[in-house]
């Protein structure tokens, strides 16, 4: 994770770090704790834009902007609009999102899902794309701005 964060700082557009107090306030607001990858990211930068400062291919939200995906995508916070455990952590092109699934953890990390707007909230169309935030961030940094996970999903 350290190498990924160094690359974000060196080649992209990070925001200033979140403070421990901001992280605590965030965790109180949402009712779950950041996993180690997310905690490291937000202590390093409270959000970041990758590849372009103004029109980024990946715009990782600051803590204050992380919301339930169903609220962000459908403006409704009821179960008919999707899982209460999916949170938008990054906006990608065409008003699509990258979602954190806080309903489960593997090796202490939350998985990442594709927040495909046209298929939301169907889990078939919003499939898991990586097992952790660091895996997703690494893929994004190597992607040259492309949606690196689509090829893998199409092959499944």
Domain-wise residue ranges, the chain? 2-155
Phi, psi (rounded to 5 degrees) for 123: -65, -20
Q: What does each C-alpha distance from 82 to 20, 36, 63, 76, 150 come to in angstroms?
A: 30, 26, 21, 9, 22
Q: Model confidence over 14-53: pLDDT tens digits?
A: 999 999 999 999 999 999 999 999 999 999 999 999 999 9
Tens of pLDDT, residues 45-62: 999 999 999 999 999 999
* Beta strand extents in 2-41 (DSSP E only): 13-14
pLDDT value for 148: 82
> Which of 127, 129, 131 has its CA nearest to residue 58?
129
pLDDT value of residue 93: 82
What is the CATH architecture assignment of 2-155? 3-Layer(aba) Sandwich (3.40)
Please name the residues in contact with 153: beta carbons below 8 A apart, sequence gap of 6 or more.
114, 127, 129
Cβ-contact 110, 104 below 8 angstroms: yes
Give the pTM.
0.93
CB 9 within 8 A of CB 45: yes
What are the pLDDT digits (tens) for 56-100? Answer: 999 999 999 999 999 999 999 999 999 999 999 999 988 899 999
């Amino acid at each position: 994770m350290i190498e990924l964060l160094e690359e974000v700082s060196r080649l992209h557009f990070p925001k200033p770090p979140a403070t421990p107090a901001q992280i605590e306030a965030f965790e109180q607001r949402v009712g779950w704790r950041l996993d180690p990858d997310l905690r490291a990211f937000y202590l390093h930068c409270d959000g970041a834009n990758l590849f372009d400062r103004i029109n980024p291919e990946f715009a990782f939200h600051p803590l204050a902007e992380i919301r339930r995906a169903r609220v962000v995508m459908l403006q409704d916070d009821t179960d008919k609009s999707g899982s209460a455990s999916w949170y938008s952590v990054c906006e990608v092109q065409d008003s699509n999102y990258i979602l954190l699934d806080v309903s489960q953890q593997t090796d202490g990390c939350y998985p990442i899902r594709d927040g495909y707007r046209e298929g939301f909230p169907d889990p078939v169309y919003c499939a898991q794309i990586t097992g952790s935030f660091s895996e997703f961030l690494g893929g994004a940094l190597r992607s040259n701005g492309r949606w690196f996970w689509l090829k893998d999903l199409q092959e499944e």
